[in-house]
Amino acid sequence: MASINLIDAFQDFKEAENIDRPTMMKVVEDVFKTLLRKKYGSDENFDVIVNAEKGDLEIVRRRMIVEDGTVEDPLAEIAYSDAVKIEPDFEVGEELYEEVNIMDFGRRAILAAKQTLASRISDLKKNVLVKKYGERIGEIISAEVYQVWKKEILLLDEEGSELILPKSEQIPQDYFKKGENIRAVVKKVELKNNTPVIILSRTSPLFLAKLLEIEVPEIFDGLIIIKKIVREPGERAKVAVESYDDRIDPVGACVGMKGSRIHGIVRELKNENIDVINWTNNIQLLIQRSLTPSRITSMELDNEKKHANVYLKPDQVSLAIGKKGVNIKLAQELTGYTIDVFRDTEGEVQEFDIDLEEFSDEIETWVIDEFKRIGCDTGRSVLALTPEELERRTDLEIQTIEEVRKILKEEFEKE
């Protein structure tokens, strides 16, 4: 049998398990029919037979036997005298099947065909990968860490396909080692230099949404819907949920008995605080809920400008703003309103107090700004919080906090 060994090319096919056999055969047929057209001018009377298991390829030529001197189309017809040289029993009117010796195409043409085949297989693999992950955007997948670089992590899925988890899509507290299995959501599929790049994310709100879907059956079943998620990865997240069944408490279902459902998610997200709140179309109530864990005293709304002035007791201001201003930032993202926080001292016996700006000759400006960022804009508001609480909520060192408190105490004692 005249054949050409294509084991290497077919091995690529075997590895690309997602490429269906008809597609494989069609690619091989197309490549070699191109070869036939170059040599004979047409491929109409040729059959390309492929055995993918053995890596063999065979080309058979079909011609009709006609009387000598009546051949009009040499590609489709053969003279009787030439046919009986191949097989003496042939008669006029029969069809002659003749195997083509592929080596007759020439070594250069065969090499070019194999290279074309390998290229087509590679393109098929890429298309399969793009299609597979294009349909899985927004889904959580598990993959193994293969290589850790400064700006990204290379992972491999079950089939050995390469996935990328950029540094920007990692939670700040994430730390992974080679061989470790990690979960992430498929964010997007890009083509770079005609090569598919699958980007994963652990910071996307979709990642948290899918984790909740896994942990909370009511979300998976559609009884509870997630209306909106906002995140500061690794710090805090706010999840607004709504129930389609009045008998189901959406917040309680998401949190679980003694926090059983939410704890696993918090661990996955490196101890990210997750506030689950009831969604409402009442914007005033939504703002109030979004500023949890603080308690609001009163509120002024400007719906046209989408602005809210929120008043809180002095001890609630820092809770509303949160560490590094994260809480109020997320509340604004969740509600779509700009929120300004004010200390509500109405009804309280006003103690003598001093604005922190008055201490600018003794306390550095950046330190004052750091206290103001968490809602402490006066001397007594700083002294109202413990040094440990101030250290936790600001980026200041404990020694700096102690020095500031000492300065403030001395000033109030003088008064």
Q: What is the pLDDT along the chain (415 residues), one digit of tens a residue?
A: 334 445 444 545 545 545 566 666 777 777 777 877 887 777 787 877 776 565 567 788 788 888 887 878 788 788 888 888 888 887 888 888 877 777 777 777 777 777 777 777 777 777 778 888 888 899 999 999 999 999 999 999 888 888 999 999 999 999 999 999 999 999 999 878 778 899 999 999 999 999 999 999 999 999 999 999 999 999 999 999 999 888 889 999 999 888 889 999 999 999 999 999 999 999 999 999 999 888 888 888 998 999 999 988 888 888 888 888 899 999 999 999 999 888 876 544 445 677 788 788 888 888 888 888 887 888 888 888 888 888 888 888 999 999 999 988 887 776 5
pTM score, whole prediction: 0.63
Report yes or no on 216 lying in a domain: no
Assigned domain for 227 exists: no
Angstrom distance (rounded) from CA 334 to CA 228: 7
Is 44 among the domain residues? yes
Q: Are residues 368 and 338 in the same domain?
A: no
Q: What is the dihedral sign for C-alpha 332, 336, 342, 346? A: negative
Instruction: Say if 40 falls within a structural domain.
Output: yes
- Which residues share a beta bridge with 95? 64
What helix, strand, coil percent values describe the chain, rounded to 5? 40, 25, 30
**Are residues 382 and 409 both part of a single domain?**
yes
**Are residues 12 and 127 located together in one domain of the fold?**
yes
Same domain, 122 and 22: yes
Does 114 lie in the same domain as 17?
yes
Q: Is 116 found in the same domain as 25? A: yes
Task: Tell me whether residue 389 is in a domain.
Answer: yes
**Same domain flag for 328 and 373:** no
Question: What sign results for the dihedral spanned by CA atoms 378, 384, 387, 388?
Answer: negative
| Domain containing residue 291 | 280-344
Query: Same structural domain for residues 82 and 116?
Result: yes
The total domain count for the chain is 4
Q: How far apart are CA 265 and CA 214, in angstroms?
A: 10
Our separate counts of H helices and E strands in the chain read 15, 15
Among residues 176, 201, 226, the one where a domain terminates is 201
Boundary of a domain, candidates 152, 177, 201: 201
In a domain, 210, yes or no: no
DSSP string, 256-324: -GGGHHHHHHHHHTTS-EEEEEE--S-HHHHHHHHTTTS-EEEEEEETTTTEEEEEE-HHHHHHHH-GG
Is 297 found in the same domain as 339? Answer: yes
193 and 94 housed in the same domain: no
CATH number at residue 142: 2.40.50.140
Q: Are strands 56-66 and 95-100 parallel, antiparallel or unpaired?
A: antiparallel
